[in-house]
Amino acid sequence: MSWTQMHPNDESMMKKVHAGMVSLDFDGTDYLFMVGGTGLPAVKHSQFQYEQLKDGRTRTNEQLLCNLSNGQFTVPFVSGQCCPPTGSFTINKINGNKGIMFGGVVPYHGSSMSTNNVFIFNVTHNTI
């Protein structure tokens, strides 16, 4: 078994817990799609939401794509209805570039509440 540590190419990317990750493939390339979670953002990207929690951390719906062939991380353009800031959810691949996200916790008056939201996403050319 061989391990390789991937390093984001931008120190402004948020370090998170309780985020989701799923492998996708499109245009003949394998990607990791990462979404949501809780942490302390260094930079807030305008296309995403960041909700402050009472403990000082932030829950987000921030999304990243990692190209597994070159290790490059990119912040995708988002179209359509995006999930709210969410953590601790289930995420699965449906097929090549399509996935589904269910449940989790969302911010509620500075704290968290469980949800049964379902979101289907489709990734093409750095657009979700």
Q: How many domains does the chain have?
A: 1
* Residue 80 and residue 68 in contact, taking contact as beta carbons nearer than 8 Å: no
Mean pLDDT score of the chain, rounded to an integer?
89
For residue 4, tell me if it sits in a domain: no
pLDDT reported for residue 27: 83
For residue 5, tell me if it sits in a domain: no
pLDDT reported for residue 6: 76
pLDDT reported for residue 8: 66
DSSP state of 14: P
For residue 103, tell me if it sits in a domain: yes
For residue 55, tell me if it sits in a domain: yes
Domain of 100?
16-122
98, pLDDT greater than 70: yes
pLDDT reported for residue 9: 60
Q: Under 8 Å CB-to-CB from 119, ≥6 apart: which residues?
A: 81, 82, 83, 100, 101
Average pLDDT over residues 71-92: 92
For residue 128, tell me if it sits in a domain: no
